[in-house]
Amino acid sequence: MAFELPELPYSKDALEPHIDQATMAVHHDKHHAGYTNKLNAAIEGTDLEGKTIENILINLDMSNSAVRNNGGGYYNHDLFWKVMSPNGGGEPTGELAEAINSAFGSFEDFKEKFISAAGGQFGSGWAWLCVHEGGKVEVCATPNQDNPLMPGVGCGGTPILGVDVWEHAYYLKYQNLRPDYLKAFFNVINWEEVASNYAKAK
Ligand code: MN
Residue range 73-80: mean pLDDT, rounded = 98
CA 56 to centroid of ligand 1, rounded, Å: 20
Q: pLDDT tens digit string along 90-126?
A: 999 999 999 999 999 999 999 999 999 999 999 999 9
CA 31 to centroid of ligand 1, rounded, Å: 6
CA 116 to centroid of ligand 1, rounded, Å: 19
Q: How confident is the model at residue 85 (pLDDT cuts 50, 70, 90)?
A: very high
Query: Does residue 1 register a pLDDT over 80?
Result: no
CA 35 to centroid of ligand 1, rounded, Å: 9
- Residues with CB under 5 Å of ion ligand 1 are 164, 166
- Supply the DSSP string of 97-119, one letter for each residue: HHHHHHHHSSHHHHHHHHHHHHH
Q: pLDDT tens digit string along 4-49?
A: 999 999 999 999 999 999 999 999 999 999 999 999 999 999 999 9
Q: Mean pLDDT across the chain, nearest whole number?
A: 97
Query: What does the buried/exposed string (b/e) look like for 7-18 if buried means 16 or more CB atoms within 10 Å of the residue's CB?
Result: ebebebebbeeb
Q: Does domain 20-202 have CATH number 3.40.1440.10?
A: no
Contacts of 100 (CB under 8 A, 6+ apart): 92, 107, 110, 137
The domain ranges of the chain are 20-202
